[in-house]
Amino acid sequence: MQIFREIKPLRAFLVEKWRAGQKLGFVPTMGALHQGHLTLIAASRAGHPFTVCSVFVNPTQFNNAEDFARYPRNLERDVEMLERAGCDVLFCPEEAEMHSDSQYLKFDFGHLDKVMEGKFRPGHFSGVAQVVSKLFHIVQPDTAYFGQKDWQQFVIIRTLVNELKFNVKLQAVETVREPDGLAMSSRNERLLEAHRKEATVLSRCLKDAREQLLHGKSVEDVKKNVLDSFNQSEAVKLEYFEVVNTENLTPIKSVGDADRAILCMAAYVGGVRLIDNMFV
Ligand code: PAF
């Protein structure tokens, strides 16, 4: 695997691939890789002769300095995992390579970035859109792969690609879960042993909520039940639970109101913020 820390040599390397018409798959990440990321790499490798992965903990998408400082980082282990997964190129730039001091460039996605994650993490999606558009310009992939766990992010990146006419196909890949249902996330590394079991409350509630909605319970009643489940333990705190249309993220009153509905939630488990979702 070739490793690049700077844009110029990476582009000088990739230009040969672009010229030869070689299809590139791209997996942008913030590192602290886990099986979920490896599934994205595998999906990219299955569809492309060449896979590029980026590892960059993007400061502009953190609205909380402490969260940024505590975000898990382990580049050495990431490199080993990517080598074993058959990734061809790793791009792992320093902050100064990606962002200038002036943070003038802002994105506004209207309703899409004001709800759920956008409501509780103001500026988050502007930062995501900033860095993803830079990465797309640098790598010029044919297809970029993202985890379904960040569904709102996927909808926003899809809007970014449509609006800015990026010539990139997007692929959302199903969330990979631990055997007990916990969605894999780099943030799981920060869970204390004592709280690890409690973290299953997210996937359990989503599964139960899905069942209840499919059996005709109202969204309002299901929301109450989810909140009740969270109120059983001091270690967990629900931030939001929403039932929204998968395409435009507007709230829905009954699962029959949308072609497809998705249940989305964010919660703190022992102080660690986790998100999860489930299609109905
Ligand atoms: O999903 C992530 O890991 C990040 O938000 C992304 C897309 C790599 C942008 O920093």
Contact 212/221 with Cβ under 8 angstroms? Answer: yes
**Measured in angstroms, how far is the CA atom of residue 228 from the centroid of ligand 1?**
32
Residue 130: both structure tokens together:
């900033």
pLDDT in tens, the chain (280 residues): 999 999 999 999 999 999 999 999 999 999 999 999 999 999 999 999 999 999 999 999 999 999 999 999 999 999 999 999 999 999 999 999 999 987 789 999 999 999 999 999 999 999 999 999 999 999 999 999 999 999 999 999 999 999 999 999 999 999 999 999 999 999 999 999 999 999 999 999 999 999 999 999 999 999 999 999 999 999 999 999 999 999 999 999 888 766 799 999 999 999 999 999 999 9
- Please state, in angstroms and rounded to a whole number, the distance separating the CA atoms of residues 42 and 132: 20
* DSSP states of 123-138: THHHHHHHHHHHHHHH
**CA-57 nearest atom, ligand 1:** 10
* Residues identified as active-site: 37
Domain residues of the chain, as ranges?
Answer: 2-173, 186-279
pTM value is: 0.97
Name the nearest CA neighbour of 219 among 202, 240, 243, 250: 243
Element (H or E) spanning 228, and its range? Answer: helix 219-230
186-279: CATH topology is: Pantoate--beta-alanine Ligase; Chain: A,domain 2 (3.30.1300)
Indicate the top mutation candidate among 57, 132, 148, 155 to test ligand 1's pocket, ranked by most ligand atoms within 8 A of CB: 132
The superfamily CATH assigns to domain 2-173 is: HUPs (3.40.50.620)
Contact 176/184 with Cβ under 8 angstroms? Answer: yes
Residue 217: both structure tokens together:
């319970």
